[in-house]
């Protein structure tokens, strides 16, 4: 059975990773509403839990890029101990699959060519956006292809294999077209199961609609056939969806917290490419366009401070611990010469997907590489509040939706030695600096004047993490107030939980 859309019910984001992390800090599991549990005599007598590293807290590989020169990336759920990866190759001429026991292992895994386009005729054109799904004990790759001599006369196809290992080319069938009621230029198919029904979602140019592509959904009667008339659930009407091209494409589905979330990508495939979000109630009729609401702004877009441009065409997977992971492509530069479709440097990347207090996803910004894993800092007793910045102003706020503003890297200290500095993950090169007791975000370099005011001695134990400023002759510690971040004496307010 395809497990891509596993429903999670243990609070926002599923089995509470935050609960596990707090337990790892000896602080007890959190109540379902995110309140700190009261430690009783039994908890006090329990054996101390191991303290997690920042990498364990973040829980997802920080290797970036993960797979070079692979656009439209798709990673399966971990199946019999293996993650499988596929994506578009720059030549658009073949289907590839690689596998590894870990997400990070996909970076260096050997790649197998399971199908190559013919030199003439049907499917002899460009090959686009493969997805690999395990359905009822068989593997299926959904992809789109044009014909030789008409590479943009694109239609949708599926190949299947009964073998256990999808990397084995011997198991794969010849392509079979997945037909829809009209025309060509249809691509980017995905499939998901919900409440016992399998659905097919794709992008297509409809003759009567003056846009490049819209999103359609239909029930499936088999893994290779749709059962009824398709329904259009999204068309590019918003300004950000119509930059260069009026496009909705590349859908991916995640069922969580009583809702069906569907991401999609829009606009031209350059730096203007961005991701949107459709949402439906899990009890709604998914074939009714009125069941779907669209976020008015993109949920994931280019971010110049981290040099990540055109993020999109994502998929979702999970870690063995149950964390949700977003897989996407992006470039390291903004300016492109020629047609962006033929710029080969859309690289596959992964980062952790977070969940807001109301059970909706937080995508943040494409973070890129860093000297340490990104983490969030919360007062130990207020796990739904986070240290965040808005520009250079730093505060401690509850239920922050701007994920990137709450992500930090505890990197080697600017003042050297055994110190650490707290670098903003979404504004690399900017650090927490304390001047006359005021904490602010400031761009600094190692060894620069003021480096000591942005360097701390870190203590991490069963109580959490505490940071003592080395540039303060009084030995002040970072402390959280009701909405403020200050310095002062060590105490209960100087301990932070990481997530």
**Which active-site residues does the annotation give?**
72, 249
| Alpha-carbon gap, residue 329 to 306, rounded angstroms | 14
DSSP per-residue codes, 293-347:
EE-SS-SB--BGGGTBEEEEEEEEEE-TT--EEEEEEEES-S--SS-GGG----E
**Residue 416 is encoded by which pair of tokens?**
């050297």
| Alpha-carbon gap, residue 174 to 79, rounded angstroms | 24
CB of 442 closer than 8 Å to CB of 433: yes
Q: Name which of 295, 450, 455 is nearest 362 in CA terms.
A: 295
| Alpha-carbon gap, residue 481 to 464, rounded angstroms | 17
Which residues are registered as beta bridge partners of 142? 131, 158
Which residue's entry shows tokens 């990197």?
411
How would you classify the pairing of strands 496-498 and 377-379?
antiparallel
CB of 184 closer than 8 Å to CB of 153: yes
3-state DSSP assignment of residue 121: coil
Which residue's entry shows tokens 């200290």?
413
Q: Please, what is the Cα angle at 171 between 170 and 174, to 5 degrees?
A: 95
């Amino acid at each position: 059975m395809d497990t891509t859309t596993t429903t999670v019910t243990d609070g926002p984001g599923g089995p509470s990773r935050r609960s596990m992390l707090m337990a790892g800090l000896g602080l007890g599991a959190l109540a379902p509403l995110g309140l700190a549990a009261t430690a009783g005599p039994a908890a006090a007598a329990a054996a101390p839990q191991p303290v997690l590293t920042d990498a364990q807290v973040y829980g997802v590989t920080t290797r970036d890029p993960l797979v070079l020169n692979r656009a439209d990336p798709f990673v399966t759920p971990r199946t019999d101990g293996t993650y499988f990866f596929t994506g578009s190759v720059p030549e658009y001429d073949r289907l590839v699959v690689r596998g590894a026991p870990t997400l990070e292992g996909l970076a260096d895994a050997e790649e197998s060519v399971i199908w190559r386009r013919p030199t003439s005729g049907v499917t002899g054109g460009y090959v686009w956006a493969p997805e690999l799904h395990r359905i009822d004990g068989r593997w299926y790759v959904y992809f789109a292809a044009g014909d030789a001599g008409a590479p943009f006369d694109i239609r949708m196809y599926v190949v299947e294999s009964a073998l256990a290992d999808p990397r084995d080319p011997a198991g794969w069938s010849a392509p079979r077209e997945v037909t829809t009621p009209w025309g060509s230029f249809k691509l980017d198919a995905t499939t998901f199961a919900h409440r016992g029904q399998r659905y097919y979602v794709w992008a297509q140019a409809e003759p009567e609609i003056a846009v490049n592509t819209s999103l359609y959904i239909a029930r499936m009667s088999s893994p290779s056939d749709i059962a009824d008339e398709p329904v259009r659930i999204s068309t590019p009407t918003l300004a950000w969806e119509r930059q260069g091209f009026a496009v909705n494409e590349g859908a991916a589905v995640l069922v969580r917290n009583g809702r069906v979330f569907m991401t999609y990508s829009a606009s031209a495939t350059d730096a203007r490419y961005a991701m949107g979000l459709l949402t439906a109630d899990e009890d709604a009729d998914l074939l009714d366009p009125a069941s779907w609401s669209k976020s008015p702004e993109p949920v994931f877009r280019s971010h110049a401070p981290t040099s990540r441009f055109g993020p999109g065409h994502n998929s979702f997977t999970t870690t063995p611990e149950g964390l949700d992971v977003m897989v996407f492509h992006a470039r390291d530069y903004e300016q492109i010469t020629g047609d962006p479709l033929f710029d080969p440097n859309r690289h596959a990347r992964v980062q952790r997907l977070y969940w807001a207090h109301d059970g909706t996803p937080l995508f943040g910004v494409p973070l890129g590489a860093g000297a340490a894993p990104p983490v969030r800092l919360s007062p130990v007793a207020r796990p739904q509040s986070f240290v965040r910045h808005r520009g250079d102003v730093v505060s401690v706020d509850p239920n922050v939706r701007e994920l990137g503003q709450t992500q930090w890297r505890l990197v080697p200290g600017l003042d050297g030695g055994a110190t650490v500095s707290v670098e903003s993950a979404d504004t690399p090169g900017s650090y927490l600096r304390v001047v006359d007791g005021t904490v602010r975000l400031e761009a600094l370099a190692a060894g620069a004047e003021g480096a000591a005011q942005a360097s701390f001695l870190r203590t991490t134990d069963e109580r959490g993490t505490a940071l003592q400023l080395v540039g303060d002759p009084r030995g002040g510690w970072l402390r959280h107030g009701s909405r403020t971040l200050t310095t002062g004496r060590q105490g209960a307010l100087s301990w932070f939980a990481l997530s």
